[in-house]
Amino acid sequence: MHSFIDSKIYPPNNWDVFEKMVTDVFAKEFDEPSFVRYGRTGQKQKGIDIINQDISKLKGYWGIQCKNKNLTEKEIDNIVEDAKKFDLELSKLIIATTMKRDQKILIYVMKKSKHHSSNSLFSVEIYFWEDLKTMLANHPSLLSKYYPHYDNDTFDKVERLILDSSVDSWSYNEGGVYSLKTDVKLVIKKEKEYREFSEKWVENFADKKAYMSIYSIFYNNSLIKRESFVDVDGFRMSLPLPSLDNNGLTISEFQYKLCKIINGPHVSYSQYRIKRYIATAGIKVKKDTY
Domains of the chain and any CATH numbers = 15-146 (3.40.1350.10), 152-286 (no CATH)
Instruction: Give the pLDDT score at 25.
Output: 95
- Kind plus residue range of the DSSP H or E element containing 63: strand 61-67
Q: Cα-Cα-Cα-Cα dihedral of 131, 137, 139, 144, to 10°?
A: 120
Instruction: Give the pLDDT score at 80.
Output: 95
Whether the predicted pLDDT of 286 surpasses 50: yes
48 and 64 in contact (C-beta within 8 Å)?
Answer: yes
Instruction: Give the pLDDT score at 1.
Output: 38
pTM of the model: 0.55
Instruction: Give the pLDDT score at 57.
Output: 87
173 and 190 in contact (C-beta within 8 Å)?
Answer: no
Give helix 15-29 / helix 129-137 axis angle, nearest 10°: 60
The average confidence (pLDDT) of the chain is 87
Q: Give the pLDDT band of residue 4 (cuts 50, 70, 90).
A: low
Give the Cα separation of 159 and 1 in Å (integer): 10
Instruction: Give the pLDDT score at 245.
Output: 78
Higher pLDDT, 236 or 289: 236
Higher pLDDT, 223 or 27: 27
Give the Cα separation of 128 and 47 in Å (integer): 18
> Environment class of residue 245 by beta-carbon count within 10 Å: exposed (0-12), middle (13-18) or buried (19+)?
exposed
Q: Give the pLDDT band of residue 268 (cuts 50, 70, 90).
A: low
Whether the predicted pLDDT of 150 surpasses 80: no
